A and B are shown apart, each in its own frame.
Chain A
Amino acid sequence: MQTDRKRESLLRNSGVQTIIGSLLCIAIGLLIGYVVLLIINPAGAGGAIAAILKNYFYYPSHVAVLKYLGTTLVKASALLVCSLSVLFAWKVGLFNIGVAGQYVIGAGASLYCALGLGLPWYVCLIAAMVCAALVGGISGALKAYFNVNEVISCIMLNWIGLYAVNMLLNTVKEQSTPYTKSLASANSSALLPNVGLDKIFSNNEYVTIGIIFAVLAAIIVWVLLDRTKFGFELKATGLNKHAARYCGMREKRNIILAMMISGALAGLGAAVLFLCGIEQWMVQMTSIPAMGFNGIAAAFLGGSHPIGAIFSSYFIQHITSGGSYVDKAMYSAQISDLISAFIIYLCGFVFFFKGWLGRLLDKRDEKRAAAQEKGGKAQ
């Protein structure tokens, strides 16, 4: 009975519920993916799912495993900062679907500063954050002063951002390809410093200080929201803007500031990825990079907690990267994206499962109370 109680109160804990919810989502997502693979080609389904989950463990050599773990971490760190961007706005009651567009702006600003203006990495990084913050601030100001739904204004800004960045980066692209010039050859001072991290990951040159920045950002966001007066005001505004106004908080300023900080984080996400040289921008891009949108999934899978986001971002990047190891002879090239999309889609259901778990416990309590009462009456 005693241990039963203990287990129950543990199950009642919101954090534990979130973790259980997240794990359930992952399991169901994998199951649906598996079923789809079975329908397409039953022979390879088990192998494909295993490949997605194994990711870099596909390689037999220890050195290669470490190297590709490094690459996954680099991409996961960008994803982490994007998910922080989403969850920061979320805590203030805003759904920043513009994280994708702000990410694009951040990429454009950092790459143009690096390639067009030849500036060092720290300037590029700050430029990315400032420009993305301004774009986020536009949506924030529209929301605060004209009550324009931030989802609408963000989606529109996403496309404006994409084509503006394509135009801008067209001036710094390679002659023969649609890609921007490589940082290593055009301006190596714009590359984020490795600070020795590359050595740990089998000389993976893309592993940089960016990973540290991402984890630091998670901790700062956590402390800011949880421990400071500013976070207290932001959350109050998000939960009840009328009450925030009633007690004299400047709710309009808070909304704009929250969107600006959210935007700055999205910009940082782009900078940590593009300034390590792992990717070049394709200036003929007609769709918005998935990184920002995946940030939404990572934020929810992590229970919209900054520390949870560290793990959820890694997981989502892990399966996204893992998708590329699926046997292309059996499945078309898009299958990996499809499977990870299923899992990411299911991530949105974390809160649903959390609520469901709570209700389940309530029902059990009720039944137990009723049973106890009956027992009492019988005596």
Chain B
Amino acid sequence: MEQYAIEMLHITKKFPGIIANDDITLQLKKGEIHALLGENGAGKSTLMSVLFGLYQLEEGEIRKDGQTVTIHDPNDANALGIGMVHQHFKLVECFSVLDNIILGAETTRGGFLQKAEARKKVMALSEQYGLSVDPDAIIEDITVGMQQRTEILKMLYRDNEILIFDEPTAVLTPQEIQELMTIMKNLAAEGKSILFITHKLAEIMQVADRCTVLRKGKYIGTVDIKDSTPESLSAMMVGRDVNFVVEKAPVELGDVVLDVQHMTVASKHHKNNAVNDVSFQVRRGEIVCIAGIDGNGQTELVYGLSGLEPLKGGKITMNGVDITHLPIRKRLTNGMSHIPEDRHKHGLVLDYTLEDNIVLQRYFEPEFTSPMGFLKRKNIRSYAERLIEQYDVRSGQGPITKARSMSGGNQQKAIIAREIDKNPELLIAVQPTRGLDVGAIEYIHKQLVAQRDAGKGVLLVSLELDEVMNVSDRILVLYEGEIVGEFDPKQVSVEELGLYMAGSKRKEAQDRAN
């Protein structure tokens, strides 16, 4: 009989109006890396929350080493040796690595901390698994990759045998991802059992032994990776074949639509400028992509362009008009569309209906407001209905659905419909596919390419390297608020880009000019 570290058998978990997990079985062998694959809303997080004791299962059972167990809360999970690296790290920023590792599991003698003992254990673990962390470094000073290793050490320090990684690569550079893969293999070789939640097929192909696929809360199957291909996995995940390569015609460059000269934006977090002396152009008929690791000035760059933050210096010209000092509304009515980074903060008024959100950029136009200032509700409704139909925005009650109750993908579709239907000259799209499933990503990429083919300028800000490589016509790498390289996606490798994104290489301005 096979030895399973943990078994989740026929798990069912319901929420009002939705069955999040419907008869799902997941068996994790000792010492294997088991991937859990599914689109957003497939039920991965719910299943892991059940395992971690955050939700109680309604039907089914959990077995550890063949014995039925009940897990009421994360403490129970911890006692069973289950540990988790969350997507958003749970670290105290101003504490040292060591303090964070022992936090909640401190060794004390007579009420006093025994840090020397803890340090010995941490160093031994760090060496054993090749984690190489500095125990005295302060969390806020170290890289995201190092922070993640701290989280891994937290689990190891608690002698956890079953390690759950929740989308661990989303925040890492390509180099850091490779290092993490090596660490995961080491952990498995040392007898730890790993559950690896992700929707990136390449990573599964690289490290996982087996993979369980969920779709819409249902169990689709468990396969051996050595018998699978990325195509077969994605077909299982989505339920149909997905086209990974974005189809594009060759670029037909037009006039300059956006011209940014020496743009500088102050930072709210530190004394240095968030965006420092950045110059670039976007022409009609091309998709220019700003690549970089999160927090290198992308947000502030877009805020500067859209007018949400004032510039400290520099000049922005759109379609030949100096917009440096124009208010936000003027920029938007002069042909700028902006798909914002944070759809809940900026993109939508969540408690407004879908139709009100759809006219959010146009409600003041004569089509929707009478000269007396009264809203033309009928026109708003028919306009919303047209966009909902055309862009296939799905919701419970159509135009009168509250935006809050819609799924993330459909919220994003509504924003994209609104911004594209304005018929912009320049479309700024910031992480337009963040948190969306494969089907929605495919759709959004097609829309971006359609805008480019219609002769608009598209500025795409993305953290996803696949997206950067597939969609863009030109790549600008932003590192610490400066453009450190410009590339043609056909002539650069992902590894090469990664070195620029991590700041270990940069092209000087003179090089780029040539």
Contacts and interface: CB of A to CB of B under 8 A. Distances in A.
Interface of A: 227-230, 232, 235-236, 239-240, 242-250, 362-363, 365-366, 370
A372 to B, nearest CB: 13
Contacts of B331: 248
B381 to A, nearest CB: 14
A366 B14 CA distance: 9
A232 B375 contact: yes
B507 to A, nearest CB: 34
Interface string B314-339: 00000000000001111111000010
Interface stretch (B156-164, B348-356, B469-477): B348-356
Contacts of A232: 356, 363, 375
Contacts of B332: 247-248
A247 B17 CA distance: 33
A228 B374 contact: yes
Size category of the binding interface on chain B: 20 to 34
Contacts, number: 72
Interface of B: 14, 16-17, 306, 308, 327-333, 338, 340, 345-352, 356, 360-361, 363-364, 369, 373-375, 377
A247 B352 contact: no
Contact of A243 (B17, B345, B369): B345
A227 B308 contact: no
Contacts of A240: 345, 348-351
Nearest to B370: A229
Contacts of B328: 245-248
B327 A248 contact: yes
Contacts of B348: 240, 243
A246 B338 CA distance: 9
Contacts of A227: 374-375, 377
A235 B350 CA distance: 12
A243 B346 contact: yes
A133 B26 CA distance: 64
A228 B16 contact: no
Contacts of A239: 349-352
B374 A229 contact: yes
Contact of B373 (A230, A248, A249): A230
A248 B329 contact: yes
A245 B349 contact: no
Given A236-B360, A250-B327, A365-B17, 13 more contacts: A227-B374, A229-B373, A235-B352, A240-B350, A243-B345, A243-B348, A245-B328, A246-B346, A247-B328, A247-B360, A248-B333, A250-B329, A370-B14
B349 A243 contact: yes
Contact of A229 (B16, B330, B364): B364
A371 to B, nearest CB: 13
A327 to B, nearest CB: 48
B218 to A, nearest CB: 15
A246 B350 contact: no
A250 B327 CA distance: 9
A235 B357 CA distance: 12
Nearest to A365: B16
A232 B348 CA distance: 14
Given A236-B349, A236-B360, A366-B14, A246 B308 contact: yes
A244 B351 CA distance: 13
B393 to A, nearest CB: 18
Nearest to A223: B374
B15 to A, nearest CB: 9
A250 B364 CA distance: 13
A228 B380 CA distance: 13
12 contacts: A227-B374, A229-B364, A230-B373, A236-B356, A239-B351, A240-B350, A242-B345, A243-B360, A245-B328, A247-B328, A248-B329, A366-B14
B336 to A, nearest CB: 10
B330, B333, B363, most chain A CB atoms within 10 A: B363
Contacts of A242: 345-346
Given A229-B364, A232-B363, A243 B347 contact: yes
A247 B333 CA distance: 10
A232, A249, A365, most chain B CB atoms within 10 A: A232
Contacts of A244: 349
B418 to A, nearest CB: 9
B62 to A, nearest CB: 22
A233 B445 CA distance: 32
A228 B328 CA distance: 22
